[in-house]
Every structure is written in structure tokens, then in C-alpha cells.
Structure 1
């Protein structure tokens, strides 16, 4: 093993430590700290991934390192960079299982980009209407979910409404809701069409 390979392995391990700390911070609700740690992890992993981009005979290590860089870029909100790392990884010869993971990750990042691009700042005084398939009822958290073209919208419902909204399950619905703080509250639900 060359000194360069040892150095890259060391940098990769340090990146993994920062990433684990970032995940723990995120899990504990420390969003700013988490992002700071993810950025540190990504800066290190980017260095390692750059060294592996052209080493197509180093599979599966190459594709795993590039995937790691993509995941960290995604956590930093750098979706385009994440897609680029995934493209590089898929352009090599990753094992089938890793290639499948790379494609799945690529799709999830693409969805996040579309969702981010279409997301508007909500106005809490305005009623909002969403149409989609009524696909989720959470009787514990008193929430429903509507799968709209832009993604699932979760809406809070009053305690006594759960039984009423269940009759719309698995149907196309038109839901009107109002935003209050970080929550969306059901105002009306009806079958679409």
C-alpha cells in the first residue's frame, strides 16, 4: 500500500467520524451543528473521492467512496454535486448491488431537487388546496397524508375527524388546509373530480 493510499484511508476515516457526529447532532435536533459537521465531512470525503474518480479498476472501493461523497453532498444541500458524484460512480463498473443503491440515491436526490424548486413560502392566512391520492391515516398522531405530484403532504386533523376521513382512503381527493406555524390543519376534504 502506498503512502497516498494510507493518507486517503485516514482522511476517509476522519470524514466518517464527522459524518457520524453530524447524524447524532441531527438526531438530537441540533440542525446548525449537524450541517457544520456534514460540511466538514464532505470537504474531507470530496478530497478522497476526487482521487478515486479516474481509478475505474479499483471497484468496489471506488464506487463506495463516490457514493459516500454523494450522500454527504446531499446532506449539505448540494444536490447537483451529489448527482455528479453518482454519475461518476455509475460511469465506472460498480458491482450490481452498489449500482442499484447508486440509482436509488440518484432518484431520491432528483425528487428533492424538484420539490425544492417548487416549494413556495407558505402564508398562514391563506387556505391551500392540494389534490392527490389519500394514502395515509395516522390515528396516533392525528394526521393524514395526501400523495400529490410534488410529494406527500401531511396534514393534521382534529381528534374526532379520524373516522370521518378514513372513508376517503385510497381515493383521489381535494384537501383544503391552513398553515399555522409549522403545521398544516385540515379545513375540508372531498373526493376529487
Structure 2
């Protein structure tokens, strides 16, 4: 009996050792991605987010959906979903959130997953805006300092002020999404993905312009106590 338990414990430790190899590497890539995005290297950032996501998904998939795997399993899936979100892979993010909730996530992580799910849904709506344009996106950084309605009942307008030049940009936003833009991002330093039809500029994506966002997905995972006893 003890031999069986020891073998099971050893297998668990091997999985955790693998997780603790994959997860830190994923987080290093994520921090590089946030830094690249802050420096205006948007395509490089997206590539790094995708690479980090691959590693974090591998780590999360190693743990079965049972109570013994928590909270590590939920943390890994939440982290992977956040990486997918930042890498603009919204369908993948939604799937990973569902995977996380299929286990036994602690209440605080469950709340974070639900909040992330709302962010993902919001950006999927913005994707519909992006799909209307064939040209390359415009990337703008600065402070969001103005929001109002327009003469068009379906559109609102926000203004971005560039920090270095004080240049102002007006961007149109579907009125149904205005509160999702204004509430979390007003007076914040943001990165905006925008698209132009030659006349007006439309907001197609928005995120905080800071590497501090990486803190929300970096978690230190500990080897379970059973490993130290083998």
C-alpha cells in the first residue's frame, strides 16, 4: 500500500516539477511581451504572448480537474487565459476560462476568471469593428481624457492625448461599448488599436500601457508538501 502511495506521489511530483519548469519560462516570455508592447513593438509582443501561451497551456494540461490540483490548476488556466487575451486570441481565452471553471477554483480566482471573461467578451465585440476594415491598424498611445456622444445614435467618441507631443486623436466607438471603454480606462495611460476609413478613425482595441499588467498573470507555484516527503 505504501509503495502504491509513494509511486502516486512520485508521479505527482514529476508533474509539478514539469509545471514549475514551464510556468516560469512562460512568465518570462510574458514580461518580454508586455515590455515590447510598451515600446511600440506590437507584432513582436503578440508573437511573444503566443509563445508564452503555448507553454502555459502545456503546464495547465498536466493537472487533472480534481480538488488535489487546486489552486495550482486554476492559477495556470487563469494565467493561460490572460495570455490568450493579451495576445488577442479571444476564442482560446474563453475556452481556457471554461477549462479553469470546470475544476475547483477558489472563490477569489473564480471571481477573477469571471472578470476576465467579461473583458474577453468586450474585446470580441471590438473585433467586429476591426473586421470592417481591410487596412493595417494604427497604434496610438497616450491618456484617454474625453468621452461623449455624437450626432449618430450608434456611435460615441473618445479622445486620446499623446504624452510626448500632446497631440489629440478622436476615435469613434460603438455606443453600446462606451462604458466598457470609459470605466476602466478613463485618465489611464493606454494603447489603442485603431482603424481608419479615410475619413474617421475607429477604436478597435484598448489596453493599459504598462508592464505592471504582467503582475496579474505571474504566480509563484510551490511544489506540494508531498514531494518533500518522498
TM-score normalised according to structure 2 size: 0.57
* Aligned match for 2:43, one of 24, 32, 39: 32
Structure 1: state its 5+ residue gaps: 155-177, 185-193
Residue 79 of structure 2 corresponds to 68
Q: Residues 11 and 183 from structure 1, CA distance in 2 versus in 1: closer, same or farther, beyond 3 angstroms?
A: same
Note the C-alpha offset of 1:93: 2.1
Whichever of the two has the greater Rg, that structure is: 1
Among 103, 109, 121, the alignment partner of 2:133 is: 121
1:131 matched to 2:153? The reply is yes
Q: Deviations over 1:142-185 (max 9, x none)?
A: 5667660144699xxxxxxxxxxxxxxxxxxxxxxx8558846x
Matches of 1:143 and 1:35 in 2, distance apart? 24
8 Å Cα contact 1:53-1:66 kept in structure 2: no
Q: How many residues align?
A: 157
Cα deviation, residue 138, structure 1: 7.3
Is residue 134–residue 147 contact of structure 1 (8 Å, CA) maintained in 2? Answer: yes
Instruction: Map residues 15-54 of structure 1 onto 2, 5 A cutoff.
Output: 15-54=26-65
Q: Is the 8 A contact 2:29 2:48 kept in 1?
A: yes
2:116 to 105, 111, 120: 105
- Cα 1:74/1:137, change in 2 over 3 Å: closer
CA deviation after TM superposition for structure 1 residue 87, in Å:
0.9
Task: Compute the displacement of 1:118 (Å).
Answer: 4.5
Q: How does 1:83-94 map to 2 (within 5 A)?
A: 83-94=94-105
Change (3 A) 1:32 1:144: closer
**Aligned-residue offset at 1:77:** 2.2
Larger relative contact order (Cα-Cα within 8 Å, sequence gap ≥ 6): 2
Shift of 1:116: 0.9
